[in-house]
Amino acid sequence: MRAMDVFTGLPDWLRLECQPIDQLQGDLFPEESQQLARAVPKRRREFTAGRTLARRLLVQAGYPAGAIPADASRCPRWPEGVAGSISHSESQCAAALASLHDCRSIGVDLESIGAVTPDLWPYVFTPAEQQVLQTTTIASPETAKLQATLGFSAKEAFFKSQYPLTKLWLDFPQAEIRQLSARSFTLELTETLPELPRTVSGLFWPVPGQQLLTLLWL
Protein backbone atom coordinates (compact mmCIF):
# COMPACT_ATOMS: atom_id res chain seq x y z
CA MET A 1 0.00 0.00 0.00
CA ARG A 2 1.50 3.33 -1.06
CA ALA A 3 0.48 6.64 0.46
CA MET A 4 -0.69 7.94 -2.91
CA ASP A 5 -3.05 4.98 -3.29
CA VAL A 6 -5.02 5.72 -0.13
CA PHE A 7 -4.38 9.09 1.47
CA THR A 8 -6.10 11.63 -0.74
CA GLY A 9 -6.57 15.25 0.26
CA LEU A 10 -3.08 15.83 1.68
CA PRO A 11 -1.08 18.99 0.97
CA ASP A 12 1.91 18.44 -1.29
CA TRP A 13 4.39 19.22 1.48
CA LEU A 14 3.15 16.51 3.86
CA ARG A 15 4.19 12.85 3.61
CA LEU A 16 2.10 10.04 5.11
CA GLU A 17 2.38 6.28 4.79
CA CYS A 18 0.93 3.20 6.48
CA GLN A 19 2.31 -0.33 6.17
CA PRO A 20 2.03 -3.69 7.98
CA ILE A 21 4.45 -3.95 10.89
CA ASP A 22 5.76 -7.27 9.59
CA GLN A 23 6.99 -5.55 6.41
CA LEU A 24 8.93 -2.86 8.30
CA GLN A 25 11.52 -4.85 10.23
CA GLY A 26 14.68 -3.06 9.10
CA ASP A 27 17.95 -2.39 10.89
CA LEU A 28 18.17 0.06 13.78
CA PHE A 29 20.95 2.53 14.55
CA PRO A 30 23.02 1.75 17.69
CA GLU A 31 21.49 4.71 19.54
CA GLU A 32 18.02 3.31 18.88
CA SER A 33 18.94 -0.28 19.75
CA GLN A 34 20.38 0.88 23.08
CA GLN A 35 17.00 2.33 24.02
CA LEU A 36 15.42 -1.08 23.43
CA ALA A 37 17.86 -3.04 25.59
CA ARG A 38 15.09 -4.10 28.01
CA ALA A 39 12.17 -4.01 25.58
CA VAL A 40 9.93 -7.03 25.07
CA PRO A 41 9.79 -8.43 21.50
CA LYS A 42 6.44 -6.76 20.73
CA ARG A 43 7.76 -3.33 21.68
CA ARG A 44 10.94 -3.93 19.65
CA ARG A 45 8.91 -4.86 16.55
CA GLU A 46 6.70 -1.79 16.87
CA PHE A 47 9.62 0.55 17.46
CA THR A 48 11.57 -0.93 14.55
CA ALA A 49 8.59 -0.59 12.22
CA GLY A 50 8.08 3.05 13.14
CA ARG A 51 11.71 4.01 12.62
CA THR A 52 11.99 2.03 9.38
CA LEU A 53 8.94 3.75 7.93
CA ALA A 54 9.93 7.19 9.22
CA ARG A 55 13.40 6.88 7.68
CA ARG A 56 11.81 5.93 4.36
CA LEU A 57 9.80 9.15 4.43
CA LEU A 58 12.83 11.20 5.46
CA VAL A 59 14.80 9.92 2.46
CA GLN A 60 11.86 10.62 0.14
CA ALA A 61 11.77 14.18 1.47
CA GLY A 62 15.50 14.65 0.90
CA TYR A 63 16.76 14.23 4.48
CA PRO A 64 19.52 11.84 5.63
CA ALA A 65 18.40 8.43 6.93
CA GLY A 66 19.75 8.95 10.45
CA ALA A 67 18.76 7.73 13.89
CA ILE A 68 15.39 8.75 15.36
CA PRO A 69 15.81 8.02 19.08
CA ALA A 70 13.09 8.60 21.67
CA ASP A 71 13.35 11.55 24.03
CA ALA A 72 12.63 11.49 27.76
CA SER A 73 8.87 11.47 27.11
CA ARG A 74 9.25 8.59 24.60
CA CYS A 75 8.44 10.88 21.66
CA PRO A 76 10.56 10.53 18.49
CA ARG A 77 13.43 13.02 18.30
CA TRP A 78 13.25 14.19 14.71
CA PRO A 79 16.10 15.72 12.71
CA GLU A 80 16.45 19.47 12.88
CA GLY A 81 13.83 21.22 10.79
CA VAL A 82 11.43 18.25 10.67
CA ALA A 83 8.00 17.79 12.24
CA GLY A 84 6.81 14.20 12.42
CA SER A 85 4.67 11.61 14.15
CA ILE A 86 4.55 7.80 14.37
CA SER A 87 1.70 5.51 15.40
CA HIS A 88 1.04 1.79 15.37
CA SER A 89 -1.73 -0.69 16.03
CA GLU A 90 -1.43 -4.44 16.52
CA SER A 91 -0.69 -4.98 12.83
CA GLN A 92 -0.13 -1.62 11.11
CA CYS A 93 2.33 1.25 11.45
CA ALA A 94 1.90 4.82 10.21
CA ALA A 95 4.30 7.74 9.97
CA ALA A 96 3.89 11.33 8.82
CA LEU A 97 6.37 14.15 8.42
CA ALA A 98 6.87 17.61 6.97
CA SER A 99 9.27 20.52 7.13
CA LEU A 100 8.91 22.96 10.00
CA HIS A 101 8.71 25.62 7.30
CA ASP A 102 5.26 24.25 6.42
CA CYS A 103 3.79 23.42 9.83
CA ARG A 104 4.72 23.54 13.51
CA SER A 105 3.86 19.95 14.39
CA ILE A 106 2.05 16.80 13.21
CA GLY A 107 -0.01 14.14 14.93
CA VAL A 108 -0.97 10.75 13.46
CA ASP A 109 -2.92 7.97 15.15
CA LEU A 110 -4.05 4.43 14.30
CA GLU A 111 -6.95 2.70 16.09
CA SER A 112 -8.94 -0.52 15.66
CA ILE A 113 -12.57 0.23 14.87
CA GLY A 114 -14.76 -0.86 17.79
CA ALA A 115 -12.06 -0.74 20.47
CA VAL A 116 -13.60 2.36 22.11
CA THR A 117 -16.49 0.60 23.82
CA PRO A 118 -19.36 2.41 25.62
CA ASP A 119 -17.83 1.80 29.06
CA LEU A 120 -14.91 4.04 27.98
CA TRP A 121 -17.06 6.90 26.73
CA PRO A 122 -17.24 8.80 30.06
CA TYR A 123 -13.43 8.98 30.15
CA VAL A 124 -12.96 9.93 26.48
CA PHE A 125 -15.91 12.13 25.55
CA THR A 126 -17.62 15.21 26.88
CA PRO A 127 -21.31 14.93 27.95
CA ALA A 128 -22.36 16.45 24.61
CA GLU A 129 -20.30 13.92 22.66
CA GLN A 130 -21.69 11.05 24.72
CA GLN A 131 -25.23 12.19 23.99
CA VAL A 132 -24.54 12.17 20.25
CA LEU A 133 -23.06 8.67 20.45
CA GLN A 134 -25.98 7.37 22.51
CA THR A 135 -28.46 8.77 20.00
CA THR A 136 -26.49 7.35 17.09
CA THR A 137 -26.30 3.94 18.75
CA ILE A 138 -30.09 3.68 18.74
CA ALA A 139 -30.26 4.44 15.01
CA SER A 140 -27.09 2.62 13.88
CA PRO A 141 -24.79 0.77 16.29
CA GLU A 142 -22.14 0.32 13.58
CA THR A 143 -22.09 4.04 12.85
CA ALA A 144 -21.73 4.80 16.56
CA LYS A 145 -18.84 2.34 16.78
CA LEU A 146 -17.07 4.12 13.93
CA GLN A 147 -17.76 7.58 15.37
CA ALA A 148 -16.45 6.57 18.81
CA THR A 149 -13.25 5.25 17.26
CA LEU A 150 -12.87 8.40 15.18
CA GLY A 151 -13.44 10.68 18.16
CA PHE A 152 -10.86 8.88 20.26
CA SER A 153 -8.32 8.72 17.44
CA ALA A 154 -8.80 12.37 16.46
CA LYS A 155 -8.09 13.44 20.03
CA GLU A 156 -5.02 11.20 20.20
CA ALA A 157 -3.67 12.74 16.99
CA PHE A 158 -4.32 16.22 18.37
CA PHE A 159 -2.61 15.44 21.67
CA LYS A 160 0.45 14.18 19.78
CA SER A 161 0.57 17.32 17.65
CA GLN A 162 0.19 19.75 20.52
CA TYR A 163 2.70 18.18 22.92
CA PRO A 164 5.87 19.44 21.17
CA LEU A 165 4.45 22.97 21.43
CA THR A 166 3.02 22.96 24.96
CA LYS A 167 4.76 20.05 26.76
CA LEU A 168 1.36 19.39 28.36
CA TRP A 169 -0.46 16.09 28.76
CA LEU A 170 -4.09 16.96 28.06
CA ASP A 171 -7.20 15.06 29.16
CA PHE A 172 -9.64 13.79 26.54
CA PRO A 173 -12.52 16.12 27.56
CA GLN A 174 -10.28 19.13 26.84
CA ALA A 175 -11.01 18.64 23.14
CA GLU A 176 -14.45 18.09 21.64
CA ILE A 177 -15.53 16.89 18.19
CA ARG A 178 -17.49 19.70 16.53
CA GLN A 179 -17.85 18.58 12.94
CA LEU A 180 -17.51 15.43 10.85
CA SER A 181 -17.58 14.97 7.10
CA ALA A 182 -16.71 12.10 4.77
CA ARG A 183 -12.96 12.41 5.38
CA SER A 184 -12.41 15.29 7.80
CA PHE A 185 -13.12 16.34 11.37
CA THR A 186 -12.94 19.48 13.48
CA LEU A 187 -11.96 19.61 17.15
CA GLU A 188 -12.55 22.53 19.51
CA LEU A 189 -10.64 23.02 22.74
CA THR A 190 -12.88 23.29 25.79
CA GLU A 191 -10.38 25.63 27.44
CA THR A 192 -7.95 28.21 26.08
CA LEU A 193 -4.27 27.35 25.69
CA PRO A 194 -2.15 30.29 24.48
CA GLU A 195 0.10 28.16 22.26
CA LEU A 196 -2.80 26.56 20.37
CA PRO A 197 -5.69 27.63 18.15
CA ARG A 198 -9.13 27.13 19.67
CA THR A 199 -10.26 25.03 16.68
CA VAL A 200 -8.22 22.49 14.70
CA SER A 201 -9.12 20.31 11.74
CA GLY A 202 -7.81 16.98 10.52
CA LEU A 203 -8.33 14.12 8.10
CA PHE A 204 -9.11 10.42 8.51
CA TRP A 205 -9.11 7.27 6.38
CA PRO A 206 -9.95 3.59 6.82
CA VAL A 207 -6.94 1.28 6.57
CA PRO A 208 -6.72 -2.52 6.21
CA GLY A 209 -7.69 -4.67 9.16
CA GLN A 210 -10.77 -2.69 10.21
CA GLN A 211 -8.67 0.19 11.42
CA LEU A 212 -8.85 3.96 11.23
CA LEU A 213 -6.03 6.47 10.70
CA THR A 214 -6.34 10.11 11.74
CA LEU A 215 -3.98 12.98 10.97
CA LEU A 216 -3.76 16.66 11.79
CA TRP A 217 -1.12 19.36 11.81
CA LEU A 218 -0.69 22.72 13.51
Task: Point out the annotated binding site.
Answer: 43, 51, 87-88, 109, 111, 156, 160, 170
- First CA to last CA distance, the chain: 26
d(CA 148, CA 167): 26
State the amino acid at position 82 in one-letter form. Answer: V
CB burial readout 119-142, b (16+ within 10 A) else e: eebeebbbeebbebbeebbeeeee
**Which residues are annotated as part of the binding site for CoA?**
43, 51, 87-88, 109, 156, 160, 170
Distance separating alpha carbons of residues 60 and 53, to the nearest angstrom: 11
Is residue 102 within 8 Å of residue 96, measured between CB atoms?
no
* CA 67 to chain centroid: 21
Q: Which residues are annotated as a binding site for Mg(2+)?
A: 109, 111
